[in-house]
Amino acid sequence: MALLWIEGFETCGTANPPDGLEEKYNTSNRVNLTDTTTGRSGTGTAWLANTSASAYIQTATIGSTDEFFIGFAFRTEVLANQPICQIYDSSAALGLNVRLTTGGELAVYRNTTLLGTSSGAGITTNVWYYIEWGGLINNSTGTYDVLVNEVNVLSGTGADTLQTGATWGQVRFTGSAIFPHNFAFDDIYILDETGSTNNTFLGSVKVQGIFPDAAGDSTDWTPDSGSNYARVNENPADEDTSYVESGTSTDRDLYNFDATSNLGTVYGLQTNIRCRLTDANAFSLNTVVKSGTTTDVGSSQAIPSTSYRVLHNIYELDPDTSLAWVASDIDSAQFGFEVA
């Protein structure tokens, strides 16, 4: 697998502070001071890091190779010398990171050592840009690239890009320590160089969120009331106000989802399951996709806590065709989960 993470903030609702980031990311306790804002395309939701306390969202460890590619939409209300996106290596040390400058350029650092600064990035305030950057971690043959709206504005080769660990693990998106700053993020992808697809820059992409709108072929879980799908389709999730519950192995719930709209090339799907333990027994979940005549059951993931957390799984290809997803197949597929 090359595609490791997708984020469009579409499950955060539109309330302030954004809902669900603490359950999905390793975050600072300042995230609850941040807001949502209108998404980059004029609809949907983006994350607005608008606190002076350097709020951030940081993935769990998702990478384990020496190369990475990251894309994200970015908007700022101030030009400041501040980090935007940071890589933490396999030793949990800050490694490569990209920063905004007061001149509207983008600079790549290894920890706090400047490696290079763009010329002609042209970042201005209150405009959405799609930034992509990637690098190879090595102490002598390292590389890095930065693209703005699919134009390469900075490249480096033969560089020392290794801080401590030889591979990368976590990615952090961060607000500024300068107030007011109002960094906004949307439409994120993260991938590595492995596999035969999604192993280099994808270009300017958009993330679309869809939610359950009808029952699927399996309804084994017990709803607190009403129909299963209607207990898990809120945006944002309403925690224990409505839910489904099961403690029986192989119990499965599948749901039909909203129709997609205006999709072009689909690079992958990410399912997100917000769940928690309700007793002292340990439980795990499998994500499930039913497409055509094929039912794909993902690897077991432990439910980590009695507090809500988000489990996710990536599907780069349609399991029924082993080809890239197309809109009609997404619209007819069912998604859900089962007790492992």
In the chain, domain spans: 3-191, 212-339
Over residues 57-67, the pLDDT tens digits come to 999 999 999 99
Q: Which CATH class is domain 3-191?
A: mainly beta
Q: Which of 32-36, 57-61, 114-118, 133-137 shows the lowest mean pLDDT across its residues?
A: 32-36
Average pLDDT over residues 12-34: 87
In degrees rounded to 5, what are phi and psi of residue 167? -130, 165
Task: Write down the residue that tokens 């933490």 correspond to.
Answer: 88
Mean pLDDT, the chain, whole residue set: 94
CA–CA distance, 145 with 225 (Å, rounded to integer): 52
Q: How much is the pLDDT for 178?
A: 67
In this predicted model, which residue has the larger pLDDT, 49 or 221?
221
Distance CA 225, CA 129 (A): 44
Which pLDDT score is estimated for 30? Answer: 81
Q: With pLDDT > 90 as the criterion, what percentage of the chain qualifies?
A: 86
Residues 81-105 pLDDT 10s = 999 999 999 999 999 999 999 999 9
pLDDT band per the 50, 70, 90 thresholds, residue 321: very high
Cα–Cα dist 310/275, whole Å: 6
Phi, psi of 330 (to 5 degrees): -65, -45
Q: Residue 327: how many CB atoms within 10 A of its CB?
A: 14
281 secondary structure, DSSP code: S
Residues 184-209 pLDDT 10s? 999 999 999 999 999 999 999 999 99
Q: Is the confidence at residue 1, as pLDDT, over 70?
A: no
> Are residues 310 and 24 in contact, defined by beta-carbon separation less than 8 angstroms?
yes
Q: Supply the pLDDT for residue 127.
A: 97
Q: Residue 338 has what pLDDT?
A: 98
